[in-house]
Amino acid sequence: MRRLTNVALILISLFLIISGCGSSNQEIIIEPWDILLADLEYAWVTMDINALEDCFRDDFMHHLQEVDWDDYNGDGVIDEYWGLEIELDFAEFAFAEADSIYFSLSGGESSIWSGDSTGQSIETPRILTREIFSPGDTTLEVRPVTLICRPDYQNEWYIWQWFDGEEQ
């Protein structure tokens, strides 16, 4: 993830230099969770499973809408969410089937997430647009998601929870 973060910071710095930001009295603040979400977009667009995995940690949970509940891990119990392994399996399948992927997270204001008593987690409601172009087929998905981002013990930000649907 550091490699992607470094690339993002270099590109942002170049943009600021070229755009003449020094002449403005306004300070531009780029939050670490915004860089993380840019890394997530990059991983999907480039279909890079390693870059995608760097956006999450082992305690990741993807909460599903009730209509999508199913037995994803084959244990006989209906799953209301899945973890990192199934998230990566889903992405690997999409990457293997796709010629290209458009992935964008837009809109939304980030704020401290009330579901974390430590106050470290950031709630980032967004509109997810994912278009998967496969031979003879295109799948378009546009829906609200809420991503909960937080720093790990090394102060590296990751997506801890993903909620499909409305804000949490």
Local confidence band at 29 (pLDDT 50, 70, 90 cut-offs): confident
Which CATH class name applies to 2-164? alpha beta
What are the phi and psi torsion angles at 114 (to 5°)?
Answer: -70, -15
pLDDT (tens digit per residue) in 69-99: 888 888 888 888 888 999 999 999 999 999 9
What pLDDT is recorded for position 115?
87
What pLDDT is recorded for position 3?
52
Residue 43 pLDDT > 50, yes or no?
Answer: yes
Interval 127-155 mean pLDDT: 93
**CA pair distance 60, 21, nearest whole angstrom:** 37
